[in-house]
Amino acid sequence: MPFLGQDWRSPGWRWVKTEDGWKRCEPFSPAHEDGNNQLNDISHTVILTGDDEDEEIYSTEDCEFAAKKRKKDHFRNNTDSQCFYREKWIYVHKESTRERHGYCTLGEAFNRLDFSSAIQDIRRFNYVVKLLQLIAKSQLTSLSGAAQKNYFNILDKIVRKVMEDQYNPRLIKDLLQDLSSTLCILIRGVGKSVLVGNINIWICRLETILLWQQQLKNLQMNKQVNNGLTLSDLPLHMLNNILYRFSDGWDIITLGQVTPTLYMLSEDRQLWKKLCQYHFAEKQFCRHLIPSEKGHIDWKLMYFALQKYYPIKEQYGDTLHFCRHCSILFWKDTGHPCTASDPDTCLMPVSPQHFIDLFKF
């Protein structure tokens, strides 16, 4: 007989449709016990219809059928009592074995690793946005229908978070620009591409993206009124130390627009030289030397010139991790069932591009 699971006689899993896709629910949950007992009591009652003179008593089978239908409706509508499949790690396997049928896909990993909760953590926000941007550029059509729906649900939450918290809108603008360009190409060549769903759905999604772009364009940053210590009150050496902590040139330029003092510090040649040395190799400098009017190297222009030709180093507060011993992908703080004697030696941080490469076959 075919391999169906750990025990082929088991009743199987119960699946529930949510806004993030289908979620697996535990077959027995204490949260459901009280609600199910109340619904089971319906099967023991007599249902009366019509007037007092013409009363019709339903049979026991009809009562049981009505009870099951009400139980099903109750389970669908009462989302607070649902107990979902909560494992936040995934086993990355690239071929079929006796124990595991099929292989892990990018869409499956995207659904299982709980990116909806990850965007609420400021350490993971940039990581998730960068991953969505890479998927938008090249891997959107490789996602399943459920994963594509989950992708746009997460994107909607990201845009709402940026509109509310006004956190890093420039990063989201770049993501939406890449996504809209990809969708325009796919919609025009729909016959040559794989788009899951009706073409009108994708047109609506594109219109939604254009609406988000307009909202972000009109976003006004709220001025915070604070009578205490401000950034301008810090001494120059501390402000200079803050600027040296930045790894993105655009962040340095943005901070330099706050006050004249910060602008003076942001134009320091040594600051941009350190930034170029951090991201690029010396061999790359020789190919793109940009001297200034005084004969010195303009390191600021050098940084943006090199950025067009070479990728810069990426920094994230928290990333996904891959266990080389177990071949499991997971968030570090959630952990995974590792069987290694020293699990910390098996861990490897996974960049957004590495995440994409893990599922290329």
Listed ranges 50-59, 61-70, 258-267, 330-339; the one with the highest mean pLDDT = 258-267
pTM of the predicted protein model:
0.66
Condensed to tens digits (0 to 9), the pLDDT of residues 105-135 reads 888 888 888 888 888 888 889 999 999 999 9
Torsion 78-83-89-90 (CA) sign: negative
Interior angle at CA 190, CA 188 and CA 191, nearest 5: 120
Tell which residue, 317, 313, 319, has the closest CA to residue 348: 319
Given a cut of 70, whether residue 172 has pLDDT beyond it is yes
More confident residue, 59 or 255: 255
CA angle 168, 170, 176 (to 5 degrees): 115
- The percentage of the chain sitting over the pLDDT mark of 90, rounded to a whole number, equals 17
Long-range contacts of 292-298 (CB under 8 A, 24+ apart): 296/269, 297/273
pLDDT of residue 361: 60
Q: What is the mean pLDDT of the chain?
A: 76
Q: What is the pLDDT of residue 192?
A: 54
pLDDT digits (tens, 9 = 90+) for 132-166: 999 999 888 888 888 888 999 999 999 999 988 88
Q: What is the pLDDT of residue 168?
A: 82
Q: Band of the pLDDT at 43, cuts 50, 70, 90?
A: very low
Confirm if 205 and 151 have CB atoms less than 8 A apart. Answer: no
Higher pLDDT, 69 or 314: 314
